[in-house]
Amino acid sequence: MSAPAHVVGGGFAGAAAAVALARRGVPVVLWEARAAWGGRVASFTDARSGERLDNGPHLFLGCYARTRALLAELGTGHLLSFQPTLHLPRFDAGRAAALHCPELPAPWFLVGGLLGLPLTWADRLRLLAAGHAIRRPVAPGLSVASWLAAIGAPAASIPLLWGPLCRAIMNLEPAEADAGAFAAALREGLGGTAADACLGWSRVPLGDLLEAVLEDRLARAGGTVRHRRVARVVLDGDRVTGLATGDGETVPARRVILATGPAHLQRLLPAHPALQGVRQQVAALGAAPIVSVYLWFDRPVAPMGESPFVGLAGGRVEWLFDRDRMAGRTAGPGQRLAAVISAADAVADWDDARLVAATLDDMAVHLPAARGIRPAHSRVIRERRATVRLAPGVDRPRPGAVAGVDGLYLCGDYTDTGLPATIEGAVRSGEAAAAALATCGHLY
Ligand SMILES: Cc1cc2nc3c(=O)[nH]c(=O)nc-3n(C[C@H](O)[C@H](O)[C@H](O)COP(=O)(O)OP(=O)(O)OC[C@H]3O[C@@H](n4cnc5c(N)ncnc54)[C@H](O)[C@@H]3O)c2cc1C
């Protein structure tokens, strides 16, 4: 049996890398600093309610092919539910403005959906032409806002469609986000089959998608897991020779995939001129926050229709999720909601009370039953480094799978996947790093 490969970080990128190596018969040691798997797709127990909450609601897309394959291999793929057709319900001051795509083959499902938006006929036709333009290459360095202007997207469609999509996909406002990564995500999500475009969610706490099953899968291929913090990669000249742990041990390691987020990566990389470029690339990326506000009400306040989530127009809260509907349960007498504020730079430093009040204010604009009501319990979660900040022209500074010294590989949603920082990008990057490691024959 060959010497083990080490994967540092048990988020979706690290899990995908470890499973891909196990599939190739490479024994893996998977290191994770925290007690739980999943990284930024995580769950924890809320002390007051006793319920397992996620670090924020996550949506999957039908086109997350590698993520779905990973979860299917781990035996948890069936815990995701997907819409039968793309449906983006949205409360807009009393009007239910929704992108609802009919169950038709591509591209007619999208044509039908776009034509149903509350726009003038002239704007609908302009929107169709703009929708067609997502297939064309995007000039480097453009922001989403400039790109939308260049492809002739009508102004009225920005708050209705493109703005919410940009904040959901890029976690940035259209003026701040890179058009190349946004268009790549749209091409995959909307430019494929009708099933690719459907949104999905987990019926169980997100942490359960990897918990236990990941360890079992690796163990079957002779791998092990270690819940310990790795402090640094150890080099001898230009070659990786070990991993120094947080408690002072150095473990021999010749092949290492670093699957941490970009902030942690900076601390793990040893001082070596060949790694300077990666350091600078990662430092240039920056981070964008997401705030989630969990609310427990003693009566229903948000009529969700058939959907487990609904958009709110015009305020700070982008999406409301009904947690019982997500779990496939009939709601009890009350309603348990999670409100998501994406691109949350302006509010991430607000205290909990102010964030809850702002969420209730946004709900009150659209939902009469929410006016004047106080939640029985609330819980605010700030993810300050939810995603990297993919600013215009960012593809140059994103590192690839090969780090620059012998035996060291990188993966994570921040790497050069061509996609925004998403679960699917993380999984693909993990598989790419595993392939790069496994094809370096001289290391065996
Ligand atoms: C609130 C929120 C909502 C989101 N919504 C969506 C969504 O709807 N759809 C979507 O596709 N994406 C969404 N994302 C983005 C998605 O969660 C990330 O892109 C993805 O999880 C990143 O995975 P990763 O494996 O690259 O990194 P991470 O998940 O950050 O994994 C890195 C792991 O490395 C571990 N680690 C770090 N340092 C060390 C060390 N020294 N030693 C050992 N282990 C270490 C960490 O503990 C962590 O587990 C959201 C993110 C957040 C925060």
In the reported structure, the alpha carbon of residue 88 is separated from the centroid of ligand 1 by a whole-number distance in angstroms of 25
| Percent of the chain surpassing pLDDT 70 | 97
Q: Is 70 helix (H, G, I), strand (E, B) or coil?
A: helix
Ligand 1 nearest-atom number relative to CA 40: 29
Query: Ligand 1: which residue has its CA nearest to atom 10?
Result: 422
Q: In Å, what is the CA distance from 96 to each residue of 99, 167, 309, 367, 370?
A: 10, 20, 13, 11, 16
Mutate to test the pocket of ligand 1, among 291, 423, 428 (most ligand atoms within 8 A of CB): 423
Residue 443's CB is within 10 A of a number of other CB atoms, namely 16
Query: Ligand 1: which residue has its CA nearest to atom 1?
Result: 56
Query: Ligand 1: which residue has its CA nearest to atom 2?
Result: 56
Phi first, then psi, for residue 125 (nearest 5°) are: -70, -40
Q: Which residues contact 351 (CB under 8 A, 6 or more apart)?
A: none
Check residue 161 and report its DSSP letter.
Answer: I
Query: Ligand 1: which residue has its CA nearest to atom 52?
Result: 386
| Nearest of 332, 273, 289 to residue 421 by alpha carbon | 289
| pLDDT digit string, tens, across residues 223-257 | 999 999 999 999 999 999 999 998 889 999 999 99
Mutate to test the pocket of ligand 1, among 32, 40, 68, 431 (most ligand atoms within 8 A of CB): 40
Determine whether domain 287-388 maps to CATH 3.40.50.300.
no
Check residue 406 and report its DSSP letter.
Answer: B
Query: Ligand 1: which residue has its CA nearest to atom 29?
Result: 39
Q: Is 289 helix (H, G, I), strand (E, B) or coil?
A: strand
Ligand 1 nearest-atom number relative to CA 429: 26
Every domain of the chain and the residues it spans: 5-46+205-285+395-443, 87-197, 287-388
Q: Exposure pattern of 364-385 as b/e (b: 16+ CB <10 Å)? A: bbbbeebeebebeebbbbbbeb
Phi first, then psi, for residue 273 (nearest 5°) are: -55, -30
Q: Which residues contact 248 (CB under 8 A, 6 or more apart)?
A: none
80 forms bridges with which residues in the sheet? 202
In the reported structure, the alpha carbon of residue 351 is separated from the centroid of ligand 1 by a whole-number distance in angstroms of 24
In the reported structure, the alpha carbon of residue 356 is separated from the centroid of ligand 1 by a whole-number distance in angstroms of 25
In the reported structure, the alpha carbon of residue 222 is separated from the centroid of ligand 1 by a whole-number distance in angstroms of 26
Helices 12-23/423-439 angle, 10° precision? 40
In the reported structure, the alpha carbon of residue 260 is separated from the centroid of ligand 1 by a whole-number distance in angstroms of 8
Ligand 1-lining residues (CB < 6 angstroms): 8-14, 31-34, 39-41, 55-56, 58-59, 229-230, 259-261, 264, 268, 290, 292, 383, 386-387, 412-413, 421-424, 426
Distance CA 171, CA 385 (A): 11
In the reported structure, the alpha carbon of residue 1 is separated from the centroid of ligand 1 by a whole-number distance in angstroms of 31
Say what the pTM is. 0.96
| pLDDT digit string, tens, across residues 72-109 | 999 999 999 999 999 999 988 766 678 999 989 888 99
Distance CA 410, CA 13 (A): 10
| Sequential pLDDT tens for the chain (444 residues) | 578 999 999 999 999 999 999 999 999 999 999 999 999 999 999 999 999 999 999 999 999 999 999 999 999 999 999 999 999 999 887 666 789 999 898 889 999 999 999 999 999 999 999 988 888 999 989 999 999 999 999 999 999 999 999 999 999 999 999 999 999 999 999 989 999 999 999 999 999 999 989 999 999 999 999 999 999 999 999 999 999 998 889 999 999 999 999 999 999 999 999 999 999 999 988 999 999 999 999 999 998 888 999 999 989 999 999 999 999 987 678 999 999 999 999 999 999 999 999 999 999 999 999 999 999 999 999 999 999 999 997 656 789 999 999 999 999 999 999 999 999 999 999 999 999 999 875 443
Distance CA 271, CA 275 (A): 7
Q: Which residues contact 360 (CB under 8 A, 6 or more apart)?
A: 295, 370, 373, 374, 375
Query: Ligand 1: which residue has its CA nearest to atom 7?
Result: 58
Ligand 1 nearest-atom number relative to CA 231: 41
Query: Ligand 1: which residue has its CA nearest to atom 6?
Result: 58
Q: What is the CATH number that goes with domain 5-46+205-285+395-443? A: 3.50.50.60
In the reported structure, the alpha carbon of residue 390 is separated from the centroid of ligand 1 by a whole-number distance in angstroms of 16
In the reported structure, the alpha carbon of residue 40 is separated from the centroid of ligand 1 by a whole-number distance in angstroms of 3
